């Protein structure tokens, strides 16, 4: 292939993985399913995830790139939308220039200049970060921008002014040090403001706008990305001043999340440049909580990049997780800026000696239990077992078994025995045991028999299509449709689930994430979908939720790519018709059960497909080393499959979605109409 030299191996092709260093080929391509999988590092997916990872591109850019190569047209953003976006960017740049002028000239900016001098911020750093000052007045910026030709409506829409109930507006930022927030291209898209003197809040940020989504922006990344890629390490801190201080002292791989905790979107953005994360947050309780949330989210988010190598809990100490995560622990009572200003070399040492994530997890677990008691020892060892089971390297595994034993003051053989029992229990095929009685979690109250509930419609092919296998367009074109062409659309499990989520996202998504956490499964994420349009739509829905805009979801989606807009209206009509024809079914808890079982079945189908691919790879393995690696992966995948089957058994008596029945349907402008049962 263009990226990887491949050799035919049975029904698949294999070669050296482009995503990690290896000598024995473990990268497999399966032409019959149009998928790929590396059994060395765990990466996998389809052509889109491959190009996304290989080219470090977001999904929409991958679509455009592959659509161009395939000669498939994609509709672009309308010119008026592009012009409105550029207008907002111009407005923010004008505001940034005004703020910086206030800081650098005149008596009004002296207080801000004195503050920066106390923080040891140099003139060069001020200019590099475009730092500024918002004057202590109600309409100073507003009047300046209106004088530059921007309307009151534009300034309010940009979040730089707040509308008054009685008419007019006033400046959002007043008497604050201004820190411009820039996108990856270095364009100003928002501002952060630190108050000078007394008052609350200490920091004030721009609100969400059409050009600023705080869940997808990393402060300082525009200046740090080249160093991050060159050093293959990203250091995450908590505050703007931490980043500014680090860059001034030559540590240019330091960035900060926007907000109190990092988001999945920010992790995905950073992972384009490095998968070596060092968390260097404050030593206080809030900093520790932020660190823990960030570590957990890195594991969840980057495990999903492998798509077929999910983990239910714990961490790997190897590349299977697709990330190496370490924790730099700040001295008591100090934040990164304090350390950097007092002793830059100490900062360097703290980063170099960052604690590997497995050590951090074990330390945190040990601190939660009284290891002087028998019950505390047992609880600690039990909590460490999922982490230990994910360590594939035998030397590392032996090391951490010894560490857990030493902390608990028990024999290593006792920990080994407990670990062996834990792993045997997970590996034992679920079909060899009597299935547990379905037990509904606390969020689901008792329910009536299924006979009293209308089931959802079976799988349907829309637009007059015949009863055929699922519509898979060849290679690239199957995911880059020209929406101007009429083509059959399928309501399958993915579409059914996504349609219900669209209609009820406000009440279903929080419940679903809580339910998955209760089952110790990864949260609902984009890798749960395989169809590119479903993936793109889910990403738009996730963006909408992160934005928390005031506009309705339908209006927000309408501003997206035309293909996504077409798809959302199609699914919306399906879900509305389904709700109208099945009013009892969509009441809770029936709707909740359908959503969770639909998702679990999707994941189970993926796991089974991965096991089939793994069987092929095992048959074609040429060396003992390759077989050992595949055996380890088989164990992990069996763990995950068994966990899914166990979770699904909790709802087995209330399974609503079935693949055993099919129907055909046509769709009219009014909705999807069943034609006949198969």
Highest mean pLDDT among 371-375, 562-566, 571-575: 371-375
Enclosing H/E stretch for 613: helix 590-620
Above 60 in pLDDT, residue 156? yes
- Strand-pairing partners, residue 161, are 171
Per mean pLDDT, which range of 315-319, 394-398, 563-567 is the poorest? 315-319
Above 50 in pLDDT, residue 252? yes
What token pair was written down for 90?
């111009």
Highest mean pLDDT among 349-358, 415-424, 475-484: 349-358
Above 70 in pLDDT, residue 465? no
- Ramachandran assignment for 216, one of left (phi > 0), alpha (psi -120 to 50 degrees), beta (any other): alpha
Which of 46, 478, 64 lies closest to 305 in space, CA to CA?
46
**524-552, pLDDT tens digit by residue?**
877 788 887 888 888 777 767 655 455 66
Above 80 in pLDDT, residue 378? yes
Above 60 in pLDDT, residue 661? no
Cβ atoms within 10 Å of 448's Cβ, excluding its own = 11
To the nearest whole number, what is the mean pLDDT of the chain?
Answer: 76
**pLDDT higher at 108 or 590:** 108
Query: Stretch 120-148: mean pLDDT, rounded?
Result: 95
**pLDDT higher at 45 or 232:** 232
Domains and CATH numbers, the chain: 7-70 (3.90.580.10), 368-427 (1.20.50), 453-677 (no CATH)
Quote the CA–CA distance of 354 and 279 in Å, as a whole number.
8
Which of 199, 201, 240 lies closest to 217 in space, CA to CA?
240
Question: Which pLDDT does position 143 carry in this prediction?
Answer: 95
What token pair was written down for 508?
């279903």
**22-74, pLDDT tens digit by residue?**
888 888 887 766 788 887 777 787 788 888 778 777 777 777 787 777 776 66
**423-460, pLDDT tens digit by residue?**
776 554 443 333 333 222 232 222 222 223 333 333 33
Contact 536, 563 (CB under 8 A): yes
- Ramachandran assignment for 536, one of left (phi > 0), alpha (psi -120 to 50 degrees), beta (any other): alpha
Question: Which pLDDT does position 302 carry in this prediction?
Answer: 66
Contact 386, 345 (CB under 8 A): no
**pLDDT higher at 35 or 293:** 35
**pLDDT higher at 331 or 456:** 331
Above 50 in pLDDT, residue 577? yes
Task: Sort 413 into a burial class: Cβ within 10 Å, 0-12 / 13-18 / 19+.
Answer: exposed
**pLDDT higher at 602 or 513:** 602
Question: Which pLDDT does position 120 carry in this prediction?
Answer: 94
**pLDDT higher at 15 or 293:** 15
**pLDDT higher at 432 or 626:** 626
Above 50 in pLDDT, residue 657? no
Query: Stretch 603-628: mean pLDDT, rounded?
Result: 78
Contact 174, 138 (CB under 8 A): yes
- The answer to pTM > 0.85 is no
Above 90 in pLDDT, residue 153? yes
- Ramachandran assignment for 93, one of left (phi > 0), alpha (psi -120 to 50 degrees), beta (any other): alpha
Per mean pLDDT, which range of 219-223, 438-442, 591-595 is the poorest? 438-442
Question: Which pLDDT does position 455 carry in this prediction?
Answer: 32
**DSSP symbols for 174-240:** -SEEEEEEE-TTS-EEEEEEEESSS-S-SEEEPPP-SS--GGG-EETHHHHHHHHHHHT-EEEESSH
Question: Which pLDDT does position 315 carry in this prediction?
Answer: 34
């Amino acid at each position: 292939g263009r990226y990887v030299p491949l050799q035919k191996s049975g029904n698949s092709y294999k070669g050296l993985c482009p995503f990690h260093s290896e000598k024995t080929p473990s990268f497999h391509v399966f032409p019959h399913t149009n998928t790929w999988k590396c059994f060395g590092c765990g990466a996998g997916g389809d052509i889109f995830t491959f190009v996304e990872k290989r080219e470090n591109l977001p999904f929409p850019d991958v679509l455009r790139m592959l659509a161009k190569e395939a000669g498939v047209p994609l509709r672009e953003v309308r010119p008026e939308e592009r012009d409105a976006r550029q207008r907002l960017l111009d407005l923010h740049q004008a505001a940034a220039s005004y703020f910086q002028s206030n800081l650098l000239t005149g008596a009004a900016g002296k207080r801000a200049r004195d503050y920066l001098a106390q923080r040891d911020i140099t003139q060069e750093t001020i200019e590099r970060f475009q730092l500024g000052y918002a004057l202590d007045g109600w309409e100073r910026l507003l009047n300046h921008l209106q004088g530059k030709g921007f309307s009151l409506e534009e300034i309010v829409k940009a979040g730089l002014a707040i509308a008054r109930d009685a008419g007019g507006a006033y400046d959002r930022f007043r008497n604050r040090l201004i820190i411009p927030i820039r996108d990856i291209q270095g364009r100003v898209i928002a501002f952060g403001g630190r108050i000078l003197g007394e008052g609350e809040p200490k920091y004030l940020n721009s609100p969400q706008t059409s050009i600023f989504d705080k869940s997808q922006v990393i402060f300082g990344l525009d200046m740090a990305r080249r160093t991050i890629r060159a050093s293959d390490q990203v250091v995450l801190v908590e505050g703007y001043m931490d980043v500014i201080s680090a860059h001034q002292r030559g540590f240019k791989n330091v960035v900060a999340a926007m907000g109190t905790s990092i988001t999945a979107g920010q992790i995905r953005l950073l992972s384009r440049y490095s998968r070596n994360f060092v968390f260097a947050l404050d030593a206080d309780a809030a900093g520790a909580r932020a660190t823990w949330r960030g570590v957990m989210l890195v594991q969840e988010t980057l495990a999903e990049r492998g798509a077929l190598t999910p983990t239910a809990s714990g961490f790997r100490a190897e590349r299977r997780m697709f990330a190496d995560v370490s924790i730099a622990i700040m001295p008591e009572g100090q934040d990164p800026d304090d350390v950097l200003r007092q002793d830059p070399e100490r900062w360097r040492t703290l980063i170099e000696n960052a604690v590997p994530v497995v050590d951090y997890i074990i330390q945190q677990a040990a601190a939660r239990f009284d290891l002087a008691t028998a019950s505390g020892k047992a609880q600690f060892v039990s909590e460490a077992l999922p982490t230990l089971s994910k360590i594939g390297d035998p030397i590392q595994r032996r090391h951490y078994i010894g560490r857990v034993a030493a902390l608990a003051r028990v024999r290593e053989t006792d920990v080994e025995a407990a670990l062996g029992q834990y792993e045997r229990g997970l590996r034992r095929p679920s079909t060899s045991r009597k299935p547990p009685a379905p037990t509904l979690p606390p969020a689901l109250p008792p329910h009536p028999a299924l006979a009293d509930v209308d089931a959802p419609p079976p799988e349907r092919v829309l637009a007059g299509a015949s009863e055929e296998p699922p519509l898979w367009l060849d290679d690239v074109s199957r995911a880059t449709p020209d929406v101007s062409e009429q083509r059959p659309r399928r309501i399958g499990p993915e579409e059914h689930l996504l349609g219900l989520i669209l209609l009820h996202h406000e009440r279903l998504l929080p419940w679903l994430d809580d339910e998955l956490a209760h089952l110790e499964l990864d949260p609902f994420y984009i890798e749960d979908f395989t169809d590119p349009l479903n993936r793109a739509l889910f990403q738009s829905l996730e963006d909408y939720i992160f934005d928390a805009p005031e506009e309705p979801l339908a209006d927000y989606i309408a501003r997206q790519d035309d293909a996504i807009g077409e798809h959302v209206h199609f699914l919306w009509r399906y879900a509305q018709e389904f709700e109208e024809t099945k009013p009892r079914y969509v009441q809770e808890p029936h709707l909740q059960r359908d959503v969770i079982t639909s998702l679990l079945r999707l994941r189970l189908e993926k796991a089974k497909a991965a096991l089939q691919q793994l069987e092929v790879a095992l048959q074609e393995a040429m060396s003992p080393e390759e077989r050992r690696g595949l055996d380890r992966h088989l164990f992990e995948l069996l763990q995950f499959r068994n966990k899914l089957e166990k979770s699904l058994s909790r709802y087995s008596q209330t399974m609503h979605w079935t693949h055993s029945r099919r129907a055909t349907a046509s769709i009219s402008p009014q909705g999807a109409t069943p034609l006949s049962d198969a």
